[in-house]
Amino acid sequence: MKITILGSGTSQGVPVIACNCAVCESHDTMDKRLRSSVMVESEGTRIVIDAGPDFRQQMLRQKVMQLDAILITHCHKDHIAGLDDIRSFNYLFNKPMDIYATERDQLAIRQEFSYAFHENPYPGVPEFNMITLPETLFKIGNMHIIPLEVFHMRMKVYGFRFGNFSYVTDANMIPEKTMELMKGSDVIVINALRKQPHVSHFNLEQAIDVIGKLKPKVAYLTHISHMMGKHADIEAELPPSVHMAYDGLEILMD
Ligand SMILES: [Zn+2]
Ligand SMILES: [Zn+2]
């Protein structure tokens, strides 16, 4: 199984105006973060989690020619805004894209991309095959996936476990039953927005605390805001088995 970090940033991490902070000014490629997304591949199956505003750029950068499904963690714009660009895959393979999302998130997607759901849609609109996200173990191709229910303040969001890899973004609370489902993961990618507390995202200390309870072999932080500071500075402060994720990071697992 191969995991590729397509994006490790957040909408705060990709300013539309240059804010002149140290991260904006940095020439380190590790400080250039697209919106959070991850690609999970095993022989013959390729899945992407979330399709934010940078989805197209992420697909081009990784030269992704084939994609089996997109899993949606939740319907915030930085996780769904790029779904219009599935039309390239629709065109190439002449079939709709399988999108796994909760009923709430499906409704948000239908509103956001209403033109794609008209009774007689204009030719060329993106084609979605909406699949309700199962609440327990399910299979896509040869991959077994366990949904991980977590909370983004009051909002229920899903992370996913594939084998011994767990991915959680946009959480600030992980219920005990989900912690149980994540136990035994060798690799965990988890969100850490910044050092200061935040109402709906783990900060650095909280993310490290969760990692300390789950004890994976290695953990990577994602959904990182510019307020966190520069990659190299934070990396130097982290415990030995915890690292900052960065765009393009590849993790190979059995
Ligand atoms: Zn969110
Ligand atoms: Zn987000």
Of the listed ligands, the closest to the CA of 172 is 1
Q: How far is the CA of 74 from the centre of ligand 1 (A)?
A: 7
Report the C-alpha gap between 34 and 7 in whole angstroms. Answer: 5
Burial (CB < 10 A; 0-12, 13-18, 19+), residue 123, is exposed
Q: How far is the CA of 119 from the centre of ligand 2 (A)?
A: 31
Q: How far is the CA of 52 from the centre of ligand 1 (A)?
A: 11
> Which residues neighbour ligand 1 (ion) by CB within 5 Å?
76, 170
Q: Which residues of the chain have pLDDT under 70?
A: 12-18
pLDDT at res. 16: 61
Of the listed ligands, the closest to the CA of 223 is 2
pLDDT at res. 24: 86
Q: What is the pLDDT of residues 147-184, one digit of tens each?
A: 999 999 999 999 999 999 999 999 999 999 999 999 99
DSSP-based three-state secondary structure for 254: coil
The dotted CATH code for 2-249 is 3.60.15.10
Single out the residue of 72, 78, 69 nearest to residue 41, CA to CA. 69
Q: How far is the CA of 60 from the centre of ligand 2 (A)?
A: 21
pLDDT at res. 224: 96
Q: What share of the chain is helix, strand, coil (3-state, %, to 5)?
A: 30, 30, 40
pLDDT at res. 98: 98
Given the DSSP bridges, would you call strands 155-162 and 165-168 parallel, antiparallel or unpaired?
Answer: antiparallel
Q: What is the CA radius of gyration of the chain?
A: 17
Q: How far is the CA of 153 from the centre of ligand 1 (A)?
A: 9
Q: How far is the CA of 4 from the centre of ligand 2 (A)?
A: 18
Q: How far is the CA of 66 from the centre of ligand 2 (A)?
A: 25
For tokens 């930085």, name the residue: 78
Q: How far is the CA of 223 from the centre of ligand 2 (A)?
A: 7
Of the listed ligands, the closest to the CA of 52 is 2
Instruction: Mark 173-197 as b/e (b = at least 16 C-beta within 10 Å).
Output: ebeeebeebbeebebbbbbbbbeee
For tokens 């850490």, name the residue: 192
